[in-house]
Amino acid sequence: MIDEIDAGLHFSVLPEVWRIIVAASVEYSVQIFATTHSYECIDAAVKGSAGNDDKLALFRLTRRDGDIRATRVEHEGIRSAVDFALELR
């Protein structure tokens, strides 16, 4: 679990950070949970997971009617939304 994964990092290094994280998770067969409020970080995650398209999913937490609901977005949906600068947070 990596909370606020982009905290303290310049946005320009985020794609490489994600590339390394995704490669490590594949090599060691571990699942990474990372949180962020940053759109640039989501953008970087898409770029950093290129070639491992099925390894990335986004869970958006939304408060509705007093409850917090999680919505899963698959890699293709993330990539599509980022491509058109549509909001994912």
Partner 1 sequence: MTVGRPAPPQSASQLIVACEGIDDQEFLRRMLDHLRISERRIDQYRGKAQLPTYLRGLRDSTDFETIRVVGVIRDGDDSPGGAWQSVRDLLQRLDLPCPTGPGTIGTGRCGVDGITRSIGVFIMPDNNSPGALEDLCLRAVADSASLTCVDEFLACVAARTNVTCRQQDVPKARLNAWLASRADPTLRLGQAVAARQLPPDSPAFDPIKDFLRALAVAASEPDTHTA
Distance CA 44, CA 38 (A): 10
Q: Which residue in this structure is represented by tokens 């970087």?
A: 44
Side chain identity, residue 1: M
The one among 8, 12, 63, 68 contacting partner 1 by CB under 8 A: 12
CB of 35 to partner 1, least distance (A): 16
Look up residue 51 and give its two tokens.
Answer: 């070639």
Going 50 to 79 to 64 to 38, the CA torsion angle's sign is positive
- Cβ proximity to partner 1: between 34 and 39 the closer is 39
- 23 is a contact residue toward partner 1 (CB under 8 A): no
Residues between 45 and 64 with contacts to partner 1, criterion CB under 8 A: 47, 60, 62, 64
E-only strand ranges, 2-87: 57-64, 67-74
By CB under 8 A, name the binding residues for partner 1: 11-12, 14-15, 39-40, 43-44, 47, 60, 62, 64, 71-74, 76-89
